[in-house]
Amino acid sequence: MTLTTFKTAVCGLALLAAPLAASAEDLVVNGEIEMITEAEPAAHLDGALPTVRSGWTFRSSETQQLQMDDFENPAMIDVDNGMAAWNAAEGAEGKSCADCHGAMDESMEMVRATYPKWNEEAGEVRNIQMQIDDCRVNQMGAEPYGVDSRPMLAMEAAISSVGRGQVVDVAVDGPAAETWEMGKELYYTRFGQLELSCASCHELNYDNYIRADHLSQGQINGFPTYRLKNARLNGTHSRFRGCIRDTRAETFSVGSPEFVALELYVASRGNGLTVEGPAVRN
């Protein structure tokens, strides 16, 4: 190692440490849940990002405020609906989620921070929505909610809400590795007639404006997110679909294996941030 590279390395480290300590904005929800909105990137990011930043840090202070107090967060109505559904018996078995899982804030506390996750029995990586509908169909004998449907997003928001403040830590190795690699490949593929990959916007250009939009890193720790633009909860896959559509490409469908893999990969880029869902975005 020459002297110059050594210096750069030292400088790099110093620079990296400084903003984390000094400039990190504070997101504390309800005056008690302390969020990590800037984190050191995980090793599997291989230096792709100097700092991992929550989408919250890119939003205007008005939008940020809405997420700091559950009385102002418009998604909390859906969370209430999700909680009610948790306790309601449904389907041929006459069971509720609570009958098997007990109190949501205990049994589901770590779910949002660790999903998508390998399911040994099924032999596949599952996101939360797949698991919810699996329980509805196979445990309760009920109709599936369907990907990104309103009741599904309400349930997912409720499950996220009890995991707020937990540090995102999805596994990228072991049996999930193959799916993760597929997600990574998709992340760097330049889709459509505009030939843009997720990285074109969310890795190379975050913090820049593209027209009126302040580009974030496209993290998903805040999902499902309440968007002021359409005044409702939005699912991760619907967001992916919108972003790919905007490259003049043929998108994948919500719930597709491609989007599950992409979800795992994107979630892993946010390892080290805290669960914020349901977050508020514009």
Q: Which residues of the chain form contacts with ligand HEC (CB under 6 A)?
A: 55, 95, 97, 99-101, 111, 119, 121, 128, 131-132, 135-136, 139-140, 155, 196, 198, 200-202, 210, 213, 215-216, 218-220, 222, 225, 239-240, 243-244, 246-247, 262, 266, 281
Six token digits for residue 24 = 């990190």
Q: Does 250 bind other proteins (CB under 8 A)?
A: yes
Task: Note if 243 is an active site residue.
Answer: yes
Print the binding letters for residues 132-171 with other proteins: x by CB under 8 A, - otherwise: ----------------------------------------
Residues in the chain: 282
3-class DSSP assignment, residue 189: coil
Q: Which amino acid is at 202?
A: H
Q: How far is the CB of 202 from ligand HEC (least distance, A)?
A: 5
Q: Does 195 bind other proteins (CB under 8 A)?
A: yes
Among 244, 264, 267, 273, binds other proteins (CB under 8 A): 244
Q: Which does 250 bind (CB under 5 to 8 A by kind): other proteins, ligand HEC, none?
A: other proteins
Q: How far is the CB of 211 from other proteins (least distance, A)?
A: 4
Stretch binding other proteins (CB under 8 A), from 2-10, 51-59, 88-96, 207-215: 207-215
59 Cβ contact partners less than 8 Å away, ≥ 6 residues apart: 214, 280, 281, 282
Q: How far is the CB of 156 from ligand HEC (least distance, A)?
A: 9
Residues 149/99, Cβ–Cβ less than 8 Å: no
Stretch binding other proteins (CB under 8 A), from 14-22, 174-182, 220-228, 239-247: 239-247
Q: Would you say 33 or 107 has its CB closer to ligand HEC?
A: 107
Q: Give the separation between CA 15 and CA 19, rounded to whole angstroms.
A: 7
Q: Give the separation between CA 25 and CA 20, rounded to whole angstroms.
A: 9
- Convert 72-131 into a string of H (helix), E (strand) and C (coil): CCCCHHHHHHHHHHHHCCECCCCECHHHHHCCHHHHCCCHHHHCCEEECCCCEEECHHHH
Q: How far is the CB of 263 from other proteins (least distance, A)?
A: 18
Q: Would you say 45 or 243 has its CB closer to ligand HEC?
A: 243
Question: 26: phi > 0 → left, psi -120 to 50 → alpha, else beta; which?
Answer: beta
Q: Which amino acid is at 114?
A: T
H-helix or E-strand containing 65? helix 61-66
Q: Does 192 bind other proteins (CB under 8 A)?
A: yes
Q: β-strands 209-210, 117-119: how paired? A: unpaired
- Local structure of residue 279 (DSSP, 8 states): P
Active site residues: 243
